[in-house]
Amino acid sequence: MRVLVVGSGGREHALVWKIARSPLVASVLAAPGSDAIAELAECHPEVRADDVAQVVSLAREQRVDLVVVGPEDPLVAGLADRLREAGVATFGPSAAAARLEGSKSWAKAFMRRHGIPTARFATFDDLSTARSFARNQTQGCVVKADGLAAGKGVTVCDSPEQALTALDEVMGERRFGAAGDSVVIEERLRGEEASYYAITDGEHVVALVAAQDHKRALDGDRGENTGGMGAYAPAPVVDAAVEKRILERIVYPTVRGLAAEGMTYRGVLFVGLMVDAAGDPRVIEFNVRFGDPETQPLMVQMASDLVPLLDGAARGALGRVAPPEGRGSAVCVVLASEGYPRAYPKGRAITGLDALSDLPDVVVFHAGTRRGEGGGFVTDGGRVLGVTARGDDVARARERAYAAVERISFEGAQFRRDIAARALAR
């Protein structure tokens, strides 16, 4: 089987790494890929992930058997639809179904239609009206840019003043461009967050282990929201009882609701959840692709072959695929550039990547790097590396991940030191 992975970041590096290990796969291609991904796959840097026509042309020219779409933007733009029209099996939902992530207001209305538990909300396309509403949110709220904002268009606000500042940035200063044409303001949920992944072919569902992301930039869940500063899997907050509620109250109703509304969903449904003290889950947001950085520990923790799940979902044959098996726990610590999630420098030399050979079960996934003039890797993004390790339990995995982090350096590197600490404290 020839598999094409669309994208270039840490998530795609992890997917390529896992797919390339499958005995079912003869070759892996990536578009555009990256200098790090090129060590595992045939990269096509001339093909942008968001250029639908280019990706479809590449898939046909290279006679690929399966396309796995990493980022959300091409899915919202209709890449999966175009590929399927061209006769190419594709892991990723239709553009219509991808509105679950492409428009937060649409997703909230969908949840309301299908009785899926989520936070109370209001939608605004006028800054003045939104500001008037926010002034009354004395118990805190969450301000979300309606459109795609690379995971950074969400501000958790403790006071009306913080909400007003967030609204001015999103709608007034246009920090996220057209994604801020409208906003969703919702109640602030309390509890523990989790990332739940369910692969579906539109009818059958196969669940993966739950993960827990760390969105805030600083230790103790302080600072700005980022695209994610680290993650671990499995997340103990999702025990058997909680998972049953997630499936019965959220995942199955979502899959059935999409089908009832005539939408094709063949891919992974990523549910961002808040689990309250009673173990009841509510949806924070939907994503229509694998998460970043959660994918990194998910792939390292998974002991079985990923490809049958991807291919089964893409071809509508997931009912014949066995659930995946896992091994222990995995932890990913993100090394980010100084200034992230706002402006950050590029081109800083990375050292220590070749000093990890004696650390067992450690894999470093590249999120924002490129080869420098001397041949070594330099920084080329906000999130630079996802240092990921597996262990028999979360404590051992975390120990190995941080041991690897201590050997890697670049000027201005920042990282959180409390990834998976919540799991250890349970």
CATH class of 2-91: alpha beta
Task: For the sheet with 212-213, list strands across it.
Answer: 212-213, 230-233, 329-336, 383-391, 362-366
Helices 127-134 and 160-167 cross at an angle (nearest 10°) of 170
Delimiting residues of CATH 3.30.470.20 domain(s) in the chain: 190-320
Per-residue confidence in pLDDT tens, the chain, 426 aa: 999 999 999 999 999 999 999 999 999 999 999 999 999 999 999 999 999 999 999 999 999 999 999 999 999 999 999 999 999 999 999 999 999 999 999 999 999 999 999 999 999 999 999 999 999 998 889 999 998 887 678 889 999 999 999 999 999 999 999 888 999 999 999 999 999 999 999 999 999 999 999 999 999 999 988 989 999 999 999 999 999 999 999 999 999 999 999 998 999 999 999 999 999 999 999 999 999 999 999 999 999 999 999 999 999 999 999 999 999 999 999 999 999 999 999 999 999 999 999 999 999 999 999 999 989 999 999 999 999 999 999 999 999 999 999 999 999 999 999 999 999 988
Q: Half-sphere exposure of 211 toward its Cβ, with a 13 Å CA cutoff?
A: 33
Put simply, whether the predicted model's pTM sits higher than 0.85 gets the answer yes
DSSP reduced 3-state for 233: strand
Delimiting residues of CATH 3.90.600.10 domain(s) in the chain: 329-424
Give the CATH H-level superfamily of domain 190-320: ATP-grasp fold, B domain (3.30.470.20)
DSSP reduced 3-state for 157: strand
Which residue matches tokens 């309390």? 190
The amino acid occupying position 58 is L
Residue in 318, 296, 323, 313 with CA at minimum distance from that of residue 385: 296
Q: Half-sphere exposure of 298 toward its Cβ, with a 13 Å CA cutoff?
A: 28
96: its two tokens: 């219509």
Residue 20 dihedral angles phi and psi, to the nearest 5°:
-65, -20
Residue 122 neighbours by CB distance under 10 Å: 17
Delimiting residues of CATH 3.40.50.20 domain(s) in the chain: 2-91
The amino acid occupying position 260 is A
Distance CA 158, CA 139 (A): 7
Residue 63 neighbours by CB distance under 10 Å: 8
Give the CATH H-level superfamily of domain 329-424: Phosphoribosylglycinamide synthetase, C-terminal domain (3.90.600.10)
